[in-house]
Structure 1
Amino acid sequence: MASNKVLVQQWLFMLFIMSVHVVATYGAIDSATQASLLKFRSSLSNATALSNWKPSISLCNGNKSDWAGVLCRNDVFYGLRLENMSLSGMIDTDALAEIPTLRSLSFMNNSFKGPMPTVKKLSLTRVLYLSLNGFSGDIPDDAFDGMNGLWKVYLERNEFTGKIPKSLVALPSLWELSLVGNQFEGKIPDFQQSQWRKFNLSYNNFVGPIPEKLSNLVNSSSFWGDIGLCGKPLDPCKPPTPKPKRQYLLIIGILVIVTAALALLGAILYVHGRRAKTSQYEMAHDHEEKAHKNFGYDVSLKESQSAELPAGYSNGEHEKLFFVRNDRERVDLQDLLRASAEVLGSGSFGSSYKAVLLSGPTVVVKRFKQMNNSGKDEFHDHMRKLGRLSHPNLLPLMAFYYTKEEKLLISDFVENGSLASHLHGRRAPGQSGLDWPTRLKIIKGVARALACIHKEFPTLSLPHGHLKSSNVLLDHNFRPILSDFALVPVINKDHAHQHMAAYKSPEFTQTDRTSKKTDVWCLGILILELLTGKFPANYLKHGKGANVDLATWVNSVVREEWTGEVFDMDMKGTKDSEEEMLKLLKIGVCCCEWNVERRWDLKEAVEKIEELSERDVNEVGSYSSNCSEGDMYSSRALTEEDFSFLG
């Protein structure tokens, strides 16, 4: 027994060491940052939405702020999300440049006009959203000089003219760019970025052939509405009109001379430049993946780290694994301690390990650190209820370990990772995204599993409580398997409110209330994430104030532009399936209805999902304009007016 306790002490110590995250912090935000923000606000017109910006109010409190639109992380200011606030006037970039921790800026859907702000003064910014304003005129070639860490640039639906600035093309870390709905013109420059999560130049005035490198990285939807473009993935370019022979030979001679003169220099610059760009690009990916992990939303596709399972706990309680299923091989605690293990990840509830038992099976061990308010009998009873659940789309609980301070949940290992990793993780070159049939298969399985949970836990107000794409696992056939469900009764209340998906819902952020329809809201967000490929940014904000969700973005896109812009550009196999995709989009929006009374219940949502097919089979239908109507579809053709219910 003494040796067991030594092993227990070693296990606890090693678990503690592995669960510590080294997070870079800058200390508390001082009054200088507040002064810079107030100076910035003074340059705005109609800034009533920022009336609570006051020096007497603390700027950051952990990962939230009482200042409207202010983003904080670990008590440090890092960005502004000033969206849909009717702001106008001048964006004082000099004032913002005084804040060294500024990384993210969004002024989407306001009333700013005039030339492009001098954003190059904000050299450390990673994310820039200026869409849906009235900015106009040519953008200077040097507008983005020095912003080498910039990942995302969104300038959609403004009135910009002229050519794409050279400094934007040269950004080494850029992986998302959208210039939709402006008046840019000329030829598309030769972007050198090797990977894109989003790239869209639709509805501008570009002409000429699409650069070869881009033609192999993006699909035709990136160029819709640019009638002067040609070449793959659009229609082939027409052959040029033959020129006089002498002029033709002269041009060839000049090209040969220029090519020869630049060959050596080009080779040298390519080698050095390529190394630098690759390094910066990978750093950008690592930073974003680290941010997701720090917020309990791990979407990384990196290989797991090797580890040893720690030796156990030594709090004097009986050290025993409690098995809740009879269809799994039983092992004792020592078998688990001797297993080879890998760290799978660490989220807001604790660490996860992949353990290969000596007897052969592979299991996942999850250590939960925020269940200390649960009594032993209560915990045991609830785990037994979870063990009795049986559904092909639910991850069965195999066993658990209980002490007053530590809890372990043991389940099967699912080999294909999470849905989040497939939607948002970094893919290998040539690896395609999830196609439409696979995504429909996934959402159908999720809906069936959610219905099972609601049936088996009728007394719980939140039968799932934590439905999000990182908790949807995929087996080798891409069958979805839900995990981390029905844990609300045993998670510490304060921690649940800070981290669980259900508590990002509008009813909780506004009224501190949840219901079974809150799970439906989470299902709706998951549907929109699956269709758009966009990460639900509201899940990265903890606690209240996380109201700006994916549904808001879909709302704005559907209202302002052709609905085809909503869908993930990486989704393959969509030919003849757009109508079914639009039906699922409508289901997602109706599940995300802010008014809980008008929001669909789970039964209706599941029924509508089950009606969907991989491809259109008969007549082309369209949406009704009311989520509460029993029949979603009619026999007339689809128009944008059918989405007026979003307005």
Structure 2
Amino acid sequence: MALFTVFLFSFFILHHRVTSDLTQETQALQTFISKLPHDHRYSWNSSEFVCNWRGITCDATNSSVIYLRLPGARLVGEIPRNTIGALSKLQVLSLRSNGLTGGIPSDFSKLSSLHSVYLQNNNFSGGFPASLPNMTGLERLDLSDNNFSGEIPLSVNNLKKLTTLLLQNNGFSGELPSINVSLIDFQVSNNNLNGSIPISLSKFPASAFSGNINLCGNPLPSCNNTNFLSPAPSPALTKPRKQSKKLSAGEITAIAVGSALFVALLLLILLLCIRKKTKTTQQSKQPPKPPLQSSMTDAGTSSSKDEISGAAAAAGEKNKLMFVEKGVYSFDLEDLLRASAEVLGKGSVGTSYKAVLEVGTTVVVKRLKDVVVGKKEFELQMEVLGKMKDDHLVRLRAYYYSKDEKLIVYDFMPAGSLSAVLHGSRGSGRTPLDWDHRMRIAMCAAKGVAYLHVAGKVVHGNIKSSNILLRQDTNRDALVSDFGLNMLFGGLSTPNNRVMGYRAPEVLETRKATFKSDVYSFGVLLLELLTGKAPNQTSLGEEGIDLPRWVQSVVREEWTAEVFDVELVRYQNIEEEMVQLLQIAMACVSTVPDQRPAMQEVVRMMEDMNRAETDDGLRQSSDDPSKGSDAHTPPTETQNSPATVTP
């Protein structure tokens, strides 16, 4: 009985202490939020349990606050003392993308459990926070894009576990200290630092130090190259050279030869100017080239309209502009070449032009490069692609094949691409792509790719955000373009940085796209929508890391909230949906192809997401996403993708 009494007393004392600690943390958080202007979503209700507040995460026993994440919460002003500093068990602090000012409170030094601090994109000022070097468990520290100044202290070496230190875009000055901790990611660009880069930091790329004009040493230019630091020789030690009173015969000859060469050079320059003027006058009298043809020639081809037209006349019907469906457009090759043209972009498969015909019709002409198949194979593939008729695909309308030119014609989408809308200028005046729009675009793209796989048995081969085009009427519906063209290049087109970020690991070795590699690319596209980051974006951190691996590393460290685009944090009640879509995306980017879901399964998972609204067509659709416009059910896709990409 006595033992039970002791146990009961100990439990009571422990429970009282835990309850007391959480009560103090609750009061500290209420003081913090009450003293700063903030987004109404973070007006925490004192009647609710603190562990259920937005942005707050407690430990498994609900006895302490361990995560405080308030990114983009519209916080303005200085952090009050005895608020965040009172969260003794805090592990992750994220206050990025707010309007916080002043310095970091000294009581932050009490946060001994803190391992990740994200304070970027605020207006903090003052010197390097003196409290931070006392957090010996700190692993990640991001103070970038603030107004910090002064020297970076040598006491940073106290942070033995530090792997990430980001201080770019501030006003730090003085010399860089020799930091000897095991840093993986380091940035001090665009500050006022000077002197030589320590050997311990020379392993990082030059971009980590750029924007500091007085900084030198490996990997920047050597400090020995700064000649202005070398003292001028003393006049007393410089012996004046005795001057000759008259010129020698050799000097006179040299002057004469030099003068003759100078006159000859002047005459040569004058002659070249006259010839250039004559040539310009002759060119101005020539008739102008047809606009589209002129654009094509400027893009790097030696062919001309006469060559194409002459080849077509010699071959008869063989080189006509071929329409995949009669009665939609009424123009021919000559009309197309006379159209006014504007270059829309240069991709991995060719250059795209916006062509406005004289009759007012606007189309997109894609001029393919490096096509390796013959005329027959080209036409057969165009016939296959021309049969792809779905509301979520950009329609192929016509094509042209000759020895010198291979053209394909699509409908024009004036609203542009997802890439342009998502990654356009994020300055003032920008209209962000909200969550509902992103979900609608993702669903439409998924249905388009699923139709290709199931109904058409066609591998897309080049899924990326610039190939997802938006409708002008709503700016929400998306259409998939540039599908099935990889067959024309004998597999995959020449890789570039934009495409490489979307490609499945196995494709880099086999050079063959499959249904499963399309699923991987679509998963990267979903991650792009969720994070707001392009797959080739250099700000992902470690050099060479791709978007899926970056997201996996973030999720593995249990700070999933840092994954999502800051432009999405302003919207309410979407966290669960974002996490659900993130889980779908991570399944798609599995490194093992057989572990990836089929595209029609991806569509079903997206439709099953718990959407609050059901009247926007995003879920509970009665139409199978992979059915064509004729509503016939396509054959079921086999589990394993074919080894070759034969539609």
Shorter-normalised TM-score: what interval? 0.3 to 0.5
- Give the TM-score, by structure 2 length: 0.47
TM-score between both structures, scaled by the size of structure 1 = 0.47
